[in-house]
Chains A and B, each alone.
Chain A
């Protein structure tokens, strides 16, 4: 392959996020609106933020078996012509950045000009993730797990984290620091479901176990709401009212046999980013020291430890020192983390709220602005497969 052909095959600097929008965020089951209406509201909000007519959207991208279908959205919004409709395989939040990558790829490839990336969730309408009642028989992967009480996500991931802690000597305090940082940032964010509900170390330590090593506060919330981004080609970024956030890189995937069930992936004690982090940095032409702020999906805090290490911010053996509260908080921590409160304390929108927060950081409009905000990273759904990640940057980084 020629060098030119390789260089051409990048998202770097080709696409800009020009609009972000979200609904109010609700506790699970508390949304007054059904899921599809939430999706519409978030998309309208993102279009309003950009200053774009929703009829000019020509593509939709989502993930995690999103139920609000592109064709129905296009019909409901009066979209003049639908040109791209992509869905990332995989459940959970592993696909959140991949959905942005798919949308960006559609734009770079000339398939579409204005793509909305979104996620909508109304668990009151469709049932909760953390419950597994109502199934009589089970086959496939879950048949090897559920009869033993390994039912819901906390139980599916606790063993992976326990193994990682064992292999690298990671202590409970590292997990706690992640929870404390998320809750700290949520106290500055009026959108956050946990706004006004601070967490301290004593409260964390006293909280009930869900599945050891996860306390209650190590686990993401379950929420209702929707959020959306508007993506356009970089050359059009100046047409819109807000400061653009450019895609510097994105990557998707997982390593060798990461999907081997049940719990048989050869590299078990992993968040799944070893190959994916390398791809991200290669596309962006950046390394971990260039990243000023990180939004990392927390299904469980333990996955954040693994994911940050696999992105090169510290060696696994350094986790206990690096993952200290002061290092993780804006404005001037070493690596401000989950500055909106994230899945733990802002809203569990399958990580999509992290994407919006990365855009706010680059714009300079976060409620917990990091001192270094030119390059913002998003890490999607550690420990699932496939996983994905994203780097956004200001115009100065191009």
Chain B
């Protein structure tokens, strides 16, 4: 295991995210690999949308665009996970997962892990900043987007 891989928040071995065969989410995953956060935005009515879809849910235009946004948000909800539901997580835990809302992108939300002490108190509404975690997997490089409390910077 490379030094970089050893610094991942969760142990290696969890499913690797890939774009669907139809390519819908490919820009999102490519963006993460370049440390960029891309979210769909309708080029007709400017509605934000995540997860990606082929159609704008507001105006039904079929050519949604991808827009880069700042990886800052607010904790909308959270959970501390103790039970390992995957072999890779045995002997690991607890860990924190958070649902982060982006007020500057129409309030769309994303799941990530909250870096730092897994036993820490978590507050809904707390400001968080994104941290890109790159996985130099030999066959399938991929990146994840985690979060840390803004005051931690």
A130 in contact with B18 (CB, 8 Å): no
Interface size classification for chain A: 35 or more
Contact A162 B78, beta carbon cutoff 8 Å:
yes
Separation in Å of the B14 CB from the closest CB of chain A? 5
Identify which of residues 140-198 in chain A touch chain B, using a CB-to-CB cut-off of 8 Å: 140-152, 154-155, 158-160, 162-163, 166
The answer to whether A143 and B18 have CB atoms under 8 Å apart is yes
CB-CB under 8 A for A264 and B15, given A143-B25, A155-B79: no
Given contacts A133-B87, A147-B144, are A138 and B17 in contact (CB under 8 A)? Answer: yes
Q: Are the C-beta atoms of A261 and B51 separated by less than 8 Å? A: yes
Q: Are A132 and B80 in contact (CB under 8 A)?
A: no
A283 close to B (CB within 8 Å):
no
B76 at the interface (CB under 8 A from A): yes
**Chain B residues with CB under 8 A of A262:** 51, 109-111
The closest CB in chain B to the CB of A134 belongs to B87
Q: How far is the CB of A145 from the nearest CB of chain B, in Å?
A: 6
Interface residues of B in 129-153 (CB under 8 A from A): 140, 142, 144, 146
Interface size class of B (residues with CB under 8 A): 35 or more
Q: Nearest A residue to B112 by beta-carbon distance? A: A148
Most buried by B among A143, A163, A209: A143
Contact A159 B15, CB 8 Å, known A209-B83, A263-B99: no
Which residues on the A side are within 8 Å of B97 (C-beta)? 148-150, 155, 159
Any B CB within 8 A of the CB of A203: no
Contact B78 A138 (CB under 8 A): no
Interface presence of B120 (CB below 8 A) = no
Which of A136, A142, A149, A152 touches B10 (beta carbons < 8 Å)?
Answer: A149
When the two chains form their complex, are residues B14 and A146 in contact, meaning their CB atoms are under 8 A apart? yes
A212 on the interface (CB 8 Å rule)? yes
Residue in contact with A264 in the complex, picked from B51, B79, B113, CB distance below 8 Å: B51
Question: Could you list some 10 contacts between A and B, CB below 8 A?
Answer: A133-B86, A137-B18, A138-B18, A139-B20, A149-B85, A149-B97, A159-B111, A264-B51, A264-B108, A268-B109
Interface residues of A (CB under 8 A from B): 130-133, 135-152, 154-155, 158-160, 162-163, 166, 208-213, 257, 260-264, 268
